[in-house]
Structure 1
Amino acid sequence: MATAVDALDAKILRLLLEQPRTSVREYARMLGVARGTVQARLDRLERDGVITAYGPSLSPAALGHPVLAFVHIEVTQGHLDEVGDALAALPEIIEAFSITGGGDLFTRVVARDNAHLEDVVQQLIRMPGVVRTRTEMALRERVRYRTLPLVEAVGRSAPAARAQEPPRRQP
């Protein structure tokens, strides 16, 4: 589902990431293009799946869950969907992916403390279809989840903005 992102799209995405609470009108002013151009670009980027959500980024640690672990889950053949659905019912599972390699699922788990983490892992082990788990605890975040460097790289290699209207004159 590769969508063509041009240089103007990349500039809009950068502003959206760096200044998410700014209005479309202000983005347009900053970029020197019409508000309708920015809105149309945002609509297309949403439709194409480039922009997947809007909202605040929350800290599990600030919500009382400072322990972060990654749990690999091996699943009985044919039970991947069932286990995936069961994972979605646990609030401490904040992400889960089907993977290749060692295990079938890779989850990101948060907990209040080590004892709570053990309780969550025990819940996982008791799920029908789970064969075994392997848990790795995070010690320190080294690179925060980010997409801005990717947007910048795409923007540098993107063609110039397609058939864009000329910049508006500022009064």
Structure 2
Amino acid sequence: MKQVPVGISARHIHLSPEHIGLLFGPGYELKQLKPLSQPGQFAAEEQVAIAGPKGQFDKVRILGPARGKTQIEISRTDAFHLGVNPPVRESGNIAGTPGLKVIGPAGEIELQEGVIVAARHIHFHTDDAAKWGIKDKQRLRVRLSGERPLVFEDVIARVSDQYALDMHIDTDEGNAAGVKTGDTAEILD
């Protein structure tokens, strides 16, 4: 059986160094609150507000370290609340996506693009992928056996020697299956 741990990803933001400076002040460095499942990644102590045409969320967690481009990952339910219609995309693929206003303690920015609903995916260390015969970008079928079991299709395999084995789904998907972070999923093919 090919079992992987599940991580539920709530709404969050990745910031570029330039945007960290605009939101928190020049030269500001994010402070680590806790490490995440992927090596070198962390939830920052800092939070920002995000605002769309119809609504706003306060206290949106920043994930570090800084990235090349600012990206906001939300669920479809969040999108309805904010009044935006982001596509389902892999992380980093933000061309042509909607933007939002981001509000920090020292300033605010109006993003022209960067909002996505993250495509469900599994991070594989190269050793795990090789053991199971899984290739980078392969589409997988995965069973979640929570209180409302279901099978997800088109789960993207992301393979790197920098990754740790972990399946990432958003809060809508986790709630639909009745699973929580730390539960396990089974790769069917």
TM-score, length-scaled by structure 1: 0.32
Larger strand percent: 2
- Structure 1 or 2: more helix by fraction: 1
Which one has more relative contact order, counting CA pairs under 8 Å at least 6 apart?
Answer: 1
| Structure with bigger gyration radius | 1
